[in-house]
Amino acid sequence: ETGVTQTPRHLVMGMTNKKSLKCEQHLGHNAMYWYKQSAKKPLELMFVYNFKEQTENNSVPSRFSPECPNSSHLFLHLHTLQPEDSALYLCASSQDQRGTDTQYFGPGTRLTVL
């Protein structure tokens, strides 16, 4: 499989649940990103990883916990979420964390928090 894949595509969870989102890229890239896309809002950057090291945490609440075990995989662990966390969560990757490297986006995970 090529490109950036995300699983699951849809997730419904209660506020007390713990779940994880998975992202995998098959492009040989070194940088990976988590974004949140809410209705009526532009993309919000959450986390950036470069060579498995987190380089940016954009003031994200601790109920979101990222993990990057290697350059190809990125996880977003979720616990005690709030209904306002319902959104589309997009993963992206780029060759490196440079300004001119195009980011390739996955299909997203549609998260609904009840």
Partner 1 sequence: EDKVVQSPLSLVVHEGDTVTLNCSYEVTNFRSLLWYKQEKKAPTFLFMLTSSGIEKKSGRLSSILDKKELFSILNITATQTGDSAVYLCAVEPPFGNEKLTFGTGTRLTIIP
In the complex, the residues that contact partner 1 under the rule CB under 8 A are: 33, 35, 37, 39-40, 42-43, 45, 48, 55-56, 88, 90, 97-103, 105, 107-108, 110
Q: Closest CB to partner 1 among 67 and 101?
A: 101
- Identity of the residue, 18 or 112, whose beta carbon is nearer to partner 1 in the bound complex: 112
Compute the distance between CA of residue 54 and CA of residue 14 in angstroms, rounded to an integer: 28
Closer to partner 1 by CB, 8 or 18: give it: 8
- The distance of closest approach from Cβ of residue 79 to partner 1 in the complex, given in angstroms and rounded to an integer, is 24
Cα separation, 93 vs 39, whole angstroms: 23
Q: Are 52 and 70 in contact (CB under 8 A)?
A: yes
Query: Residue 18, CB half-sphere, CA atoms under 13 Å: how many?
Result: 2
